[in-house]
């Protein structure tokens, strides 16, 4: 039987559920998820391997009108993922409503795609059936998609149908990654993202956008893995918020992250977190370079 393999870019405005959908399509967690906008800061590839098929899904940052150098780089990452993709899935949010932001994404990133163009109308579990039809029509009005698929990435509804459509669009050719690969993220980056995900879950207002995480040391030892990570913020006031009263917030971040890291690494983890101010790093191209953004 012919082997098929290809690249699929998953795009959309912020908070449409792209990361949750990529995790559902791959069948395991490959990218972090939160309810904060701009959670995804890098294009993360998740690999679906089946007997005669390999699909590489690229989770991309939410496409938006940028307000700083970081925002411009995030949009560049989306454009880079779309370029050369064999198919593009635009994810829209049925619960929030399909609107101008989605039209901006379609016109900027999807309209010029030469491969398969699919639209995943996500979060249908949060919409009454009679309210879903207008959202499906609004998605169709964005532009000429090859298929429009209602899905709930959180519950898995419609994911199999979307996978079937993607698989049919993949070109014949050899696998792009080894058959046991699930992501292209280096281990240090996976660790940093897990720590950031746990921080995002506890932060409010402007603080989540100002948090970045770098891994300073990842060292296997007898029976455990020692990890030292740095949580970066932009202002001194944010440092206090991340640490919390008596260090309680930072401890909660570490506890939650360590539990997931032990599952990922299959070993006990000693996790040490420190908080440091890197002033206005989102607006500093040199800082963005150092952070790999």
Q: Are residue 18 and residue 77 in the same domain, yes or no?
A: yes
Q: What is the pLDDT of residues 172-189, one digit of tens each?
A: 999 999 999 999 999 999
Q: Report d(CA 37, CA 16) in Å as an integer.
A: 9
Task: Select from 38, 98, 88 the least CA-distant residue to 65.
Answer: 38
CA 78 to chain CA mean position, Å: 11
Q: What is the pLDDT of residues 4-27, one digit of tens each?
A: 999 999 999 999 999 999 999 999
CA distances (Å), 250 to each of 33, 229, 244, 279, in order? 19, 12, 7, 20
- Which range of residues forms the domain containing residue 270? 187-290
Q: Are residue 57 and residue 124 in the same domain, yes or no?
A: yes
SS3 content of the chain, % helix, strand, coil (to 5): 40, 25, 35
Q: How confident is the model at residue 35 (pLDDT cuts 50, 70, 90)?
A: confident
Query: DSSP strand E in the chain: where?
Result: 4-11, 44-50, 53-59, 87-93, 116-122, 147-150, 212-221, 224-233, 268-277
Q: Are residue 108 and residue 240 in the same domain, yes or no?
A: no
Is residue 143 packed enough to be buried (19+ CB in 10 Å), middle (13-18) or exposed (0-12)? Answer: middle
Structural domains in the chain (count)? 2
Q: What is the pLDDT of residues 99-150, one digit of tens each?
A: 999 999 999 999 988 889 999 999 999 999 899 999 999 999 999 999 999 9
Residue 198: CATH number of its domain:
3.30.300.20
Q: Taking the CB of residue 251, how many other CB atoms lie within 10 A of it?
A: 13
Domain annotation covers residue 181: no
Q: Are residue 23 and residue 135 in the same domain, yes or no?
A: yes
Residue with tokens 């932009």: 234
Q: What is the pLDDT of residues 194-219, one digit of tens each?
A: 999 999 998 877 788 899 999 999 99
């Amino acid at each position: 039987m012919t082997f098929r393999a290809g690249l699929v870019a998953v795009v959309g405005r912020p908070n449409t559920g792209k990361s949750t959908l990529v995790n559902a399509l791959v069948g395991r967690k490959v990218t972090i998820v939160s309810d904060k906008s701009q959670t995804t800061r890098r294009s993360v590839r998740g690999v679906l391997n089946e007997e005669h098929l390999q699909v590489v899904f690229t989770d991309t940052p939410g496409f938006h009108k940028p307000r700083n150098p970081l925002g411009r780089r995030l949009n560049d990452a989306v454009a880079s993922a779309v370029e050369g993709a064999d198919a593009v899935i635009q994810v829209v949010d049925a619960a929030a409503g399909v609107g101008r932001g989605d039209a901006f994404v379609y016109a900027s990133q999807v309209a010029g795609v030469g491969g398969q163009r699919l639209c995943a109308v996500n979060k249908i579990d949060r919409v009454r059936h009679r309210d879903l039809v207008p959202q499906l029509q609004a998605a169709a009005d964005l532009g000429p998609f090859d298929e429009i698929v209602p899905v709930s990435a959180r519950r898995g509804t419609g994911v199999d149908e979307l996978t079937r459509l993607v698989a049919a669009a993949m070109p014949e050719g050899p696998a792009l990654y080894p058959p046991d690969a699930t992501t292209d993220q280096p281990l240090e980056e996976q660790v940093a993202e897990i720590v950031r995900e746990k921080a995002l879950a506890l932060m409010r207002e402007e603080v989540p956008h100002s948090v970045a995480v770098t891994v300073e040391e990842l060292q296997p030892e007898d029976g455990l893995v020692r990890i030292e990570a740095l949580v970066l913020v932009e202002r001194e006031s944010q440092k206090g918020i991340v640490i919390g009263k008596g260090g309680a917030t930072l401890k909660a971040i570490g506890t939650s992250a360590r539990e997931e890291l032990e599952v990922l690494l299959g070993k006990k983890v000693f996790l040490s977190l420190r908080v440091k101010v890197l002033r206005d790093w989102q607006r500093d191209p040199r800082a963005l370079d150092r952070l790999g953004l």
